[in-house]
Structure 1
């Protein structure tokens, strides 16, 4: 009996350790919600509702991108995708930046595609170009930006997205040629970025993958694994974002990024990281700030920097990539956003 109790106790400790290790993100999100509910019940309810709404609004894009990534893996189409990304890196980066600037994926929905591309062995430089350009603008965001800030501003934002992708891609190419970032993905995500075997040994895809049980199982396994991974991190991100919206008032943002000149653009770039809400909420804020005298270049820098480094996107990148790749992502985003703001200010000023 004592052995059985000891065995069950040991197993319980093992299960508890597994939960703490692998589900700590859920635990942190739950503890934050509980703490807020105890300290401020009204805000606790609002944060819970905000998180639920944000997850529901993001879910279609996430499920689409997760499904595409899972389908590519189960059917073997990832071999073709990886092969398509072979060739001259300079051309790959240009195409990836252009596609990223025009793609309809949101900053979070693109994460599973990024993981799949890196796991296939696609060079980090091309993936970084797509990664940086994608969150800034998409067709619907272009139309909304044009309606709120004008077509000139919307076009500048599109060019900034593509330019940021080009800058980030070529900068990463230089670093990777110096033997940096050999394995960009965290351990346990994809296969650590060493999936170049799909390029070296391509196999013909089976588009109707559901005809084989092993491929059906792979599709389900990868889809569920990626979904749980993303939704737990996004839950934490949206909980934190709800608190940021409440406790970082828009008036503070306005006071921080008002004015003109280099200092205004630099401040807007830096403030855009913690203060950015989301692409749709930020547009009327920037419109009001420009009407109050903020430089258009500062407004563009705020939108670009905030779009790439918004809290949900940044947390998803942190969960996916190794710390040095995350630092590179943030550094490129800030540098490119500052440059975009300064260039736009020189153009309109």
Structure 2
């Protein structure tokens, strides 16, 4: 199928995601018409805000496929699993991709046959920290909080990768991606026995590879856009009917259950890594414990509504629930650990 045919098909196709988006708009108009325009604006602004990261990630994923770099990545990550997991977690901690923008890159890696373990490590650690977020977080919370969050991001990614590796070795997750996102790959997207390992850095000199780049970019772009539009629409309703400033009332006196509750509240109430900085700072000033704030930021980054919906659309349910549980468990453990650190 050519690039123009895909463009025409995708522009006309009304799949379940688009129908859900339109149905949600209709329901908002019926039950709360005053919320219709704010929700549309909210979704539009959020998409525009992360657009540079989306374009970058889609471009990287498409280039990786068109240049045949995915075969090299697959070979590299098929070596020592612990080393590849650690490298993936470190790269994720340093990379600028958010939890939504990283999805097309992850899709490209999985389709290329990269093992689930390093992908999971990168996937979990990537939205938790990046250089710009480190600077902004340090300015608001101080170096101690920010350094701990950075270490937690690396350890959460590493732990997630190791757990995924052990479960794959035990026979779980034989199928990773959903059929509609795997490009026809039926199981774990393993590459051919004798793949072409030549890297075509200047792929645009080959018409077929140029077509591959266009197809990959269009497929990933359409997939990401429709799911993000629906996710941000849902998030606008969460923000409207669950004001973040009211969350502080649940954490007046920090109890043992405050940290797990902070992880669960972070799912609907979390906006994005940068918006969370002033939000959590305000909540801490209103009485939320620093450990709960740490948990809220970590859990929200991994399991927020847009991120969770993107992951759910990409992989099969068992992989999705593993990703979700690893994120929540890691955030809770990090929150308790930070609380204990502050009491030393």
TM-score, structure 1 as length reference: 0.90
Alignment counterpart, residue 232 of structure 1, candidates 205, 226, 235: 226
Q: Specify whether residues 80 and 227 from structure 1 end up closer, same or farther in structure 2 by C-alpha distance, changes over 3 A only.
A: same
Alignment counterpart, residue 60 of structure 2, candidates 62, 68, 72: 68
Corresponding residue number in structure 2 for 1:280: 274
Corresponding residue number in structure 1 for 2:129: 137
Alignment counterpart, residue 152 of structure 1, candidates 130, 144, 150: 144
Q: Specify whether residues 313 and 80 from structure 1 end up closer, same or farther in structure 2 by C-alpha distance, changes over 3 A only.
A: same
Q: Specify whether residues 111 and 199 from structure 1 end up closer, same or farther in structure 2 by C-alpha distance, changes over 3 A only.
A: farther
The answer as to whether partners of 1:100 and 1:130 remain within 8 angstroms in 2 is yes
CA distance in 2, matches of 1:207, 1:120: 17
Superposition pairs for residues 1-349 of structure 1, below 5 Å?
Answer: 19=13, 23-190=15-182, 191-192=185-186, 194-197=188-191, 200-349=194-343
CA distance in 1, matches of 2:275, 2:55: 23
Where does structure 1 lack aligned partners over 5 or more consecutive residues? 1-14
What is the root-mean-square deviation of aligned Cα atoms in Å? Answer: 1.8
CA distance in 2, matches of 1:91, 1:331: 23
Corresponding residue number in structure 1 for 2:4: none
The answer as to whether partners of 1:65 and 1:110 remain within 8 angstroms in 2 is yes
1:57 to partner: Cα distance: 1.4
- Write the deviation string for residues 255-284 of structure 1: whole angstroms up to 9, x where unpaired: 224432422112112211222122222222
TM-score, structure 2 as length reference: 0.92
Which structure: larger Rg? 1
CA distance in 2, matches of 1:257, 1:87: 46
- Write the deviation string for residues 177-233 of structure 1: whole angstroms up to 9, x where unpaired: 101001211113133564432685342122111112111111111111111111000
1:88 to partner: Cα distance: 0.7
The answer as to whether partners of 1:120 and 1:194 remain within 8 angstroms in 2 is no
1:19 to partner: Cα distance: 4.7
CA distance in 2, matches of 1:53, 1:312: 14
Q: Specify whether residues 297 and 76 from structure 1 end up closer, same or farther in structure 2 by C-alpha distance, changes over 3 A only.
A: same
Where does structure 2 lack aligned partners over 5 or more consecutive residues? 1-8
